[in-house]
Structure 1
Amino acid sequence: MHRQSDDRTDRADQRSDLPVLPSHNTARSALTCRYRCGDACSHEAPNRSLNPYFGDIVQRALSRRGVLKTATVVALATGAGTATAAATSSAPVSGTGMRPPRGLDFEPVAPNTADAVTVPDGFAQQVVIRWGDPILAGAPRFDARKQSAKAQAKQFGYNADYMALLDAPHRGHQLLVVNHEYTSEQIMFYGYDPANPTREQVEIAWAAHGLTVLVVRGDGHSGKLWPVTGDALNRRITATTPFRLTGPAAGSDLLKTSADPTGRTVLGTLNNCGGGTTPWGTVLSGEENFNQYFAGAAAVTDPAAKTRLARYGLPQGASERKWELYDSRFDIGKEPNEPNRHGWVVEIDPYDPTSTPRKRTALGRFKHEAAEPRLTADGRVALYMGDDERFDYLYKYVSKHAYKTGDSRAAREHNLTLLDEGTLYVAKFTGDSPATEIDGTGKLPADAEFDGTGEWIPLASGDVSHVPGLSAAEVYVFTRLAADKVGATKMDRPEDVEPHPYTGRVYVALTNNKDRGATGKAGPDEANPRTGNKHGHILELEERRSDAAAKTFQWKLMLVCGDPEDPSTYFAGFDKSQVSPISCPDNVAFDEYGNLWIATDGAALGYHDGLFAVPVKGSQRGHVKQFLTMPKGAECCGPIIIEDRILVAPQHPGETDGATAEHPGSAWPDGPGSIPRPSVVTVWREKHR
Structure 2
Amino acid sequence: MRKTLPLIGSHNGGRAALTCRFRCGDACFQEVPNTSSNEYVGDVIAGALSRRSMLRTAAVVTVAAATAGTVVGSGAPQAAAATPSGAATGVAHKGDKGARGLRFTPVAPNTADRVTVPEGHAQNVVISWGQPILRGAPAFDPDKQSAKAQAGQFGYNNDFLSLLPLHGEHGRQVLVANHEYTDEILMFKGYDPQNPTREQVETAWAAHGLSVVVVEESRRSGRLSAVTRHQLNRRLTATSEFRLSGPVAGSALVRTKADPRGRTVLGTLNNCSGGTTPWGTTLHGEENFNQYFANAAKVTDPATAARLKRYGVTGEASERKWERFDDRFDLAKEPNEANRFGWVVELDPYDPESTPRKRTALGRFKHEAAQPRLTDDGRPVVYMGDDEKFDYFYKFVSSKRVAKGRSRAAHEHNLTLLDEGTLYVARLTGNSPAAEIDGTGKLPADGEFDGGGEWLPLATAGPHGAVSHVDGMTAEEVYLFTRFAGDKVGATKMDRPEDIEPSPHSGKVYVALTNNSDRGKAGKAPVDEANPRNLNKHGQILELTEHRGRAEATTFGWSLFLVAGDPDDPATYFAGFPKDRVSPISCPDNVAFDPHGNLWISTDGNALGTHDGLFGVATRGERRGELKQFLTMPNGAETCGPLVQDRRVLVSVQHPGEVDGASVEKPASAWPDGPGRIVRPSVVSVWREDGCDIGV
Letter in 2 for 1:223: G
Name the structure 2 match of 1:141.
139
Which secondary structure state, in structure 1, belongs to the residue aligned with residue 479 of structure 2?
Answer: helix
Q: CA deviation at 1:25?
A: 3.6
Corresponding residue of 1:682: 685
Structure 1 residue 441: Cα displacement = 0.3
Between the aligned partners of 2:601 and 2:559, the Cα distance in structure 1 is 17
Asked if 1 retains the 8 angstrom alpha-carbon contact of 2:49 and 2:446, the reply is no
**Does the 8 Å contact 1:244/1:359 carry over to 2?**
yes
Deviation at 1:23, TM superposition (A): 5.0
The answer as to whether partners of 1:17 and 1:112 remain within 8 angstroms in 2 is no
The residue number in structure 2 matching 1:128 is 126
Q: Which residue of structure 2 aligns with residue 55 of structure 1?
A: 42
Q: Deviations over 1:349-368 (max 9, x none)?
A: 00000000100000000000
In the TM superposition, 1:16-165 aligns within 5 A as 21-61=8-48, 94=92, 98-165=96-163
Deviation string, structure 1 residues 460-513 (Cα, Å, up to 9, x no partner): 001100011111010000000011000000000000000001110000000000
CA–CA distance in structure 2, aligned partners of residues 494 and 21 of structure 1: 22
| Residue aligning to 1:167 | 165
Q: Which residue of 2 aligns with 1:602?
A: 605
Paired residues of 1:283 and 1:348 also in contact (CA < 8 A): yes
Distance 1:228 1:558 in 2: 40
* TM-score, length-scaled by structure 2: 0.92
**Which residue of the partner structure matches residue 255 of structure 1?**
254
- Superimposed CA distance per residue, residues 104-126 of structure 1 (whole angstroms, 9 cap, x where no aligned partner): 11000000000000000000000
The reply on whether 1:241 has 2:240 as its aligned counterpart is yes
What amino acid maps onto 1:492 in structure 2? Answer: D
| Equivalent position of 2:379 in the other structure | 380
TM-score (norm 1): 0.93
Distance 2:580 2:368 in 1: 32
Residue 405 of structure 1 deviates from its aligned partner by 1.2
Q: 2:308 maps to what in 1?
A: 309
Equivalence for 1:480: 483
In 2: Cα distance, 1:303 partner to 1:309 partner: 10
Q: CA deviation at 1:96?
A: 8.7
Q: Name the SS for the 1:390 alignment partner.
A: coil
Equivalences for residues 461-500 of structure 1 within 5 A: 461-462=460-461, 463-500=466-503
Conserved? CA contact 1:19–1:607, under 8 Å: no
CA distance in 2, matches of 1:356, 1:291: 24
In the alignment, the residues of structure 2 paired with residue 65 and residue 219 of structure 1 have an alpha-carbon distance, to the nearest angstrom, of 48
Could you tell me which residue of structure 2 aligns to residue 351 of structure 1? 350
**Partner in structure 1 of residue 427 of structure 2:** 428
User: 2:5–2:566: 8 Å Cα contact kept in structure 1?
Assistant: no
Asked if 2 retains the 8 angstrom alpha-carbon contact of 1:597 and 1:614, the reply is yes
Kindly provide the CA deviation profile for residues 417-436 of structure 1, in whole angstroms up to 9, marking residues without a partner as x: 11001000000000010000
2:509 equivalent to 1:506:
yes
Question: Who is 2:65 aligned against?
Answer: none
> Aligned equivalents of 1:404 and 1:163: distance in 2?
25
- Of the three residues 537, 561, 564, the one matched with 2:564 is 561
1:635 paired residue number: 638
* SS of alignment partner, residue 458 of structure 1: strand
**SS at 1:34 equivalent:** helix
1:436-451 equivalence runs, <5 A:
436-451=435-450
8 Å Cα contact 1:207-1:240 kept in structure 2: yes
Code of the residue aligned with 1:679 in structure 2: it is: S
In structure 2, do the counterparts of structure 1 residues 630 and 380 end up closer, same or farther at CA, with 3 Å as the change threshold?
A: same
Report the equivalent of 1:341: 340
Of all paired residues, the percent bearing the same amino acid is: 69
Letter paired with 1:159: N
SS in 1 for 2:417: coil
User: Residue 367 of structure 1 contacts residue 387 of structure 1 at CA under 8 Å; is this kept in 2?
Assistant: yes
Give unmatched runs, 5+ long, in structure 2.
54-89
The verdict on how the C-alpha distance between 1:59 and 1:36 changes in structure 2, with shifts beyond 3 A counting, is farther
- Counterpart residue identity of residue 161, structure 1: D
Map Cα deviations across residues 573-602 of structure 1 (whole Å, 9 max, x no partner): 111111100000000000011000000000
Distance in structure 2 (CA, Å) of the matches to 1:216 and 1:59: 58
Query: Partners of 2:300 and 2:47 in 1: how far apart?
Result: 48
Distance verdict in 2 for CA 1:276–1:354, change over 3 Å? same
Aligned residues: 649
Cα distance in 2 for partners of 1:19, 1:56 equals 34
Report matched runs for 1:388-407 at 5 Å: 388-407=387-406
Alpha carbons 2:9, 2:15 under 8 Å: kept: no
The residue correspondences of 1:157-306 to structure 2 (distance < 5 A) are: 157-169=155-167, 170-306=169-305
In the TM superposition, what whole-angstrom CA distance separates every residue of 1:494-540 from its partner, at most 9, and x where no partner exists?
A: 00000001110000000000000001000000010000000000000
Secondary structure at 1:391's aligned position in 2? coil
Find the residue that maps to 1:56 and give its secondary structure.
coil
Matches within 5 A, 1:411-426: 411-426=410-425
- Quote the Cα distance in structure 2 between the aligned partners of 1:479 and 1:219: 46
CA distance in structure 1 between the aligned counterparts of 2:507 and 2:210, rounded to whole angstroms:
29
Task: Answer whether contact 2:51 2:446 (CA < 8 A) is retained.
Answer: no
Please name the residue that 1:620 is paired with: 623
- Runs of 4+ in structure 1 off by over 3 angstroms are 16-25, 57-60, 62-66
Shift, 1:379, TM fit: 1.4
Secondary structure in structure 2 of the residue aligned to 1:650: strand
SS of the residue corresponding to residue 482 of structure 1 reads helix
The residue number in structure 2 matching 1:89 is: none
1:192 to partner: Cα distance: 0.2
Displacement of 1:410 in angstroms is 1.7
Q: How far apart in 1 are the matches of 2:259 and 2:51?
A: 53
- For 2:545 and 2:537, the matched residues in 1 are separated by 26
Residue matched to 1:69: none
2: CA distance, partners of 1:25 / 1:131: 26
Q: Given that residues 4 and 568 in structure 2 are in contact (C-alpha distance below 8 angstroms), is that contact kept between their aligned partners in structure 1?
A: no
What is the DSSP-based 3-state SS (H/G/I as helix, E as strand, rest coil) of the residue aligned with 1:607? coil
SS in 2 for 1:26: coil
The amino acid that maps onto 2:470 is V
2:44/2:432 contact within 8 Å kept: no
Structure 1 112/328 Cα, relative in aligned 2: closer, same or farther at 3 Å?
A: same
CA contact (8 A) 1:441 1:529 kept: yes
Deviation at 1:97, TM superposition (A): 5.9
**In structure 1, how many angstroms separate the alpha carbons of the residues matched to 2:392 and 2:25?**
20
Partner of 2:322: 323
CA 1:662 to 1:542, structure 2 compared with 1: closer, same or farther past 3 Å? same
The amino acid of 1:544's aligned partner reads H
- Residues 213 and 234, structure 1, Cα contact 8 Å, conserved in 2: yes
Report the CA distance between 1:17 and its aligned residue: 12
Q: Which amino acid aligns with 1:55?
A: G
Give, as a single letter, the amino acid of the residue that structure 2 aligns with 1:45: V
CA contact (8 A) 2:450 2:558 kept: yes
Following TM superposition, by how much is the alpha carbon of 1:56 offset from its aligned partner in structure 2, in angstroms? 2.2
What is the CA–CA distance in structure 2 between the aligned matches of 1:314 and 1:559, rounded to whole Å?
Answer: 33
How many angstroms does 1:299 deviate by? 1.2
Q: What is the identity, as a one-letter code, of the residue corresponding to 1:104?
A: L
Q: Give the distance between the partners of 2:690 and 2:51, measured in 1 at CA.
A: 44
1:18 positional shift: 6.4
Instruction: Give the CA deviation at 1:681.
Output: 0.3
Q: Is this contact kept in 1: 2:52–2:446, CA < 8 A?
A: no
Task: Work out whether residues 390 and 513 of structure 1, in 8 Å CA contact, stay in contact via their aligned partners in 2.
Answer: yes
The Cα offsets for residues 244-276 of structure 1, whole Å up to 9 and x where unpaired, read as: 100011111111111111111000000000101
- Contact 1:58–1:433 under 8 Å retained in 2: no
Aligned residues of 1:26 and 1:604 also touching (Cα < 8 A):
yes
Question: Does structure 2 conserve the Cα–Cα contact (< 8 Å) formed by 1:60 and 1:433?
Answer: no
Aligned residue runs from structure 1 range 449-464, under 5 A: 449-462=448-461, 463-464=466-467
Deviation at 1:93, TM superposition (A): 5.5
Q: Report deviation, 1:24.
A: 4.5
Conserved? CA contact 1:58–1:431, under 8 Å: no
- CA–CA distance in 2 between the matches of 1:432 and 1:662? 55
